[in-house]
A = this chain, B = another copy of it.
Amino acid sequence: MAMVCLSDFEAYAKKYLPKIAWDYFAAGADDCTTRDENILAYKRIRFRPRMLRDVSVMDIRTKILGSEISFPVGIAPTGFHQLAWPDGEKSTARAARAMDTCYIASTYSTCTLEEISAAAPGGLRWFQLYIHRNRAASQQLVQRAEALGFQGLVLTADLPYTGKRRDDVRNGFRLPPHMKVKNLERAFEVCKMSPLDPSVTWNDIYWLRSLTRLPIIIKGILTREDAELAVKHGVQGIIVSNHGGRQLDEVPATIDALVEVVEAVGGRVEVYVDGGIRKGSDVLKALALGAKCVFIGRPALWGLAYKGEEGLQDVLRILQDEFRLSMALAGCASVSEIGQHLVQFSRL
């Protein structure tokens, strides 16, 4: 079977992953409306391509928070990579480094931060954090990440409680016994009373700031009001995200929310987006609407499920080729030429 586009990897993963793992990765909250809208919303955006520009030399590199990456697609934080591939997050880290892009490692990794670092020394990595009731545990994680050379701290803001994912409830989803949320092993066990702290507020950004010199990126912002608060509280970046449609269902698609957030931020901090990216042209649309970079979640897991590190590289390479081609066909030879003039919202 030829792996031509990301849907091919999705089909593979659906066929070969254990149902409980597939369901967990695929799950959306409630009716999965937002999960699906993330994809559909891209289809409502039309390009306004420009012709007869010299696109013989293409430059698709960009920078996020000062670090250069080979193209504006990174790996979003998702949990439990061992469900997709035995080496888990170690493979993810290797693939991201091989493709010269950024990997945001999740708190809920099945490898430790140390294992991830050791697997791909020198790779560009950020660490994703949930703030726990046990603040000491969170502090320890942040400081381990900084010490290990992670270059950004991503605070997930949209999970005071876990969304209702019906299939996970039906399946009684929990990690198989031989997998562990290793980063937290000593601090507390997963899957009992939630260790996450639902009392977190904007002031906790100041507490995080006091713990680390890493830039802080906040993930899960969907409104101009919260974007304004994020800037006001001193974050360095915002990831427009609805957690892949896994938290509150029937929030806007991220590409729709991006427009509002970018406008509110007005260039004061970098804005990224995740959710619904399935083609290189989706990346181009997100950049045209103001994202500095996008992050992929489920497609990365499909790549892992296909062939581990190699499969994820395949996914990234396809996105890279498609992104380069889309740019060229739209008349852009470098990322700096991408702008809002390239897109319009369809009447449909």
Chain A interfacial positions (CB closer than 8 Å to B): 2, 4-5, 30-31, 33, 43, 45-56, 157-158, 160-161, 163-164, 166, 169-170, 197-202, 204-205, 218, 220-223, 225-226, 229, 247-252, 279, 281, 322, 325-326, 328-330, 344, 346
Contact = CB atoms under 8 A, between A and B. Distances in A.
Contact of A248 (B4, B47, B199, B218): B47
A205 B202 CA distance: 52
B329 A160 contact: yes
Contacts of A158: 49, 51, 329
Nearest to A229: B52
A4 B218 CA distance: 32
A250 B329 contact: no
Q: How many copies does the complex hold?
A: 4
A201 B54 contact: yes
Contacts of A52: 157, 200-202, 204-205, 226, 229
A56 B248 contact: no
A32 to B, nearest CB: 11
B222 A49 contact: yes
Contacts of A344: 252
24 contacts: A4-B166, A5-B166, A30-B279, A31-B43, A47-B250, A48-B251, A49-B222, A49-B251, A51-B220, A52-B157, A52-B201, A52-B226, A53-B201, A54-B201, A55-B160, A56-B160, A56-B197, A56-B198, A161-B329, A164-B325, A198-B328, A247-B329, A248-B329, A249-B281
Contact of A45 (B248, B250, B330): B250
A281 B51 contact: no
Contact of A223 (B49, B157, B163, B247): B49
A45, A46, A204, A279: residue with the most chain B Cβ atoms closer than 10 Å: A46
A197 to B, nearest CB: 7
A164 B279 CA distance: 11
A226 B221 CA distance: 37
A64 to B, nearest CB: 22
B221 A51 contact: yes
Contacts of A54: 198-201
A31 B279 contact: yes
A43 B250 contact: yes
B248 A161 contact: no
A132 to B, nearest CB: 13
Nearest to A260: B48
A258 B251 CA distance: 21
Contacts of A252: 46, 48, 344, 346
A279 B51 CA distance: 29
Contacts of A279: 30-31, 249
Given A52-B202, A201-B54, A329 B163 contact: yes
A96 B341 CA distance: 40
